[in-house]
A = this chain, B = another copy of it.
Amino acid sequence: MYFSSDNYTGASEQVFSYLQQANAGSAVAYGNDSWSERAQAELRATFECQADVYFVSTGTAANALALSALAKPWDSIVCHGQAHILNDELTAPEFFTGGARLIGLDKQLPKLSLASLESLLTLDEPDLPHNSKPTILSLTQLNECGQTYSREELQQFCELAHRCGLKVHLDGARFANAVVAAGCSPAELSWQTGVDVLTLGATKNGALAAEAVIFFDPDLGRDFASLRKRSGHLLSKGRWLGAQFCGWLHADHWLELARHANAMAAKLGAGIEKSEHAELVWPVCGNEVFAILAQPKVRTLRAAGAVFYDWPKGCLPRGLPISAEQGFVRLVASFRTTAAEVDQFLSHL
């Protein structure tokens, strides 16, 4: 019963079989191999556009490099108060950008609100060069509370951002889960609504370690090759990243994996809703479930072998205090989660 994180899994069989194929023979180094080129072409086809695509091996690198391609060291980057870039990547964004600042809004809400962003961007004119000016909006889809932004919401955020001179970055560590949840095409959930740069994560959803940074406006990526190299993120045997993406994308495998994970999370969420010892903190949209459980149940579950994280109390919605007899936990379903595992978990509630 592993519900701790989708990064506790290995690679899917299909992805792994592509790695095996790619292992044969010699290949040009540093990402100039045919696997990488094929993966770039397939991502362009998947997103129905001429984007510039770069591969790296971690989500933190993908996000921080993408932000550093957009931000000057004295700019500010606006995000949700629970954003992964703000809370879970140490100070990687600051390091890669040379000191740009993150501004987290609406931490006590499950999603960034348009009103908060608008107030931040329009209430006062920045006093230059004393104030750091927001120039980037970074959204996460599926976000850190497991929520999706609808196509309409994304569009509104992008319009406001662009109107105020900001570029839009989308952290898509769980983009596959969001695509499945939203029932939109990848293009509709990204550049067609105004996203400028997407970091697309395969690692949590069937790959071993593979993330793509996709610049829908290639001009924004003009320094990326240098940024990636100087941060040690250019793999010498680049085919490993390309091959993973080829296997991941083939025949919509990535969406199939995400669909399964989402279904398992939905089943888990439905079970929790029915329990009198547990309650959902936010609705289940993708593959993440946030719940408050009675502490005895937390202990019982762990004793029975369930693995999951306690979640920071600072992430709870305002006005939802929990008692010492309650635990705030996150449960994540992956492409490997089975219905039997979920049933077993729920049986303890």
Query: A residues near B, CB below 8 A?
Result: 2, 4-5, 7-11, 16, 19-20, 22-30, 56-62, 64-65, 72-75, 87-92, 94-96, 98-102, 119-120, 123-124, 127-132, 203-204, 208-209, 223, 225-237, 239-240, 307, 312-314, 336
Q: How far is the CA of A62 from the CA of B131 in the complex (A)?
A: 18
Main secondary structure of the interface of A (DSSP, over half): loop
Q: How far is the CA of A39 from the CA of B236 in the complex (A)?
A: 22
**B28 to A23, Cβ gap below 8 A?**
no
In the complex, what's the smallest C-beta–C-beta distance from A73 to chain B, in angstroms? 6
Given that A8-B29, A128-B225, A237-B209 are known contacts, is A56 also in contact with B91, CB under 8 Å in the complex?
A: no
The residue of chain B having its C-beta at the shortest distance from the C-beta of A307 within the complex is B26
**B123 to A232, Cβ gap below 8 A?**
no
In the complex, what's the smallest C-beta–C-beta distance from A292 to chain B, in angstroms? 15
**B98 to A209, Cβ gap below 8 A?**
no
**B123 to A314, Cβ gap below 8 A?**
yes
Which residues of B lie under 8 Å from residue A313 when comparing CB positions?
Answer: 123-124
Mind listing 8 A-B residue pairs with CB under 8 Å? A8-B27, A8-B29, A10-B24, A58-B233, A74-B227, A95-B98, A129-B229, A209-B236
* A-B contacts besides A95-B231, A129-B225, 7 pairs, CB < 8 Å: A60-B234, A74-B91, A88-B131, A91-B99, A203-B237, A209-B240, A232-B233
**A236 to B99, Cβ gap below 8 A?**
no
**B236 to A130, Cβ gap below 8 A?**
no
**A130 to B90, Cβ gap below 8 A?**
yes
Which residues of B lie under 8 Å from residue A22 when comparing CB positions?
Answer: 10
Which residues of B lie under 8 Å from residue A57 when comparing CB positions?
Answer: 57, 209, 235
**A94 to B92, Cβ gap below 8 A?**
no
Given that A10-B237, A57-B209 are known contacts, is A95 also in contact with B99, CB under 8 Å in the complex?
A: yes
Q: Could you say which of A65, A204, A208, A232 has the most chain B C-beta atoms within 10 Å of its C-beta?
A: A232
Contact of A23 among B16, B60, B89, B307 (CB under 8 A): B16
In the complex, what's the smallest C-beta–C-beta distance from A56 to chain B, in angstroms? 7
**A61 to B209, Cβ gap below 8 A?**
no
Which residues of B lie under 8 Å from residue A237 when comparing CB positions?
Answer: 7, 9-10, 203, 208-209
The residue of chain B having its C-beta at the shortest distance from the C-beta of A224 within the complex is B129
Q: How far is the CA of A58 from the CA of B225 in the complex (A)?
A: 15
Given that A60-B234, A100-B94 are known contacts, is A10 also in contact with B25, CB under 8 Å in the complex?
A: yes
Given that A7-B236, A58-B236 are known contacts, is A229 also in contact with B90, CB under 8 Å in the complex?
A: yes
Which residues of B lie under 8 Å from residue A64 when comparing CB positions?
Answer: 232
Q: How far is the CA of A114 from the CA of B129 in the complex (A)?
A: 32
Contact of A132 among B7, B91, B119 (CB under 8 A): B91
**B236 to A203, Cβ gap below 8 A?**
yes
**A129 to B203, Cβ gap below 8 A?**
no
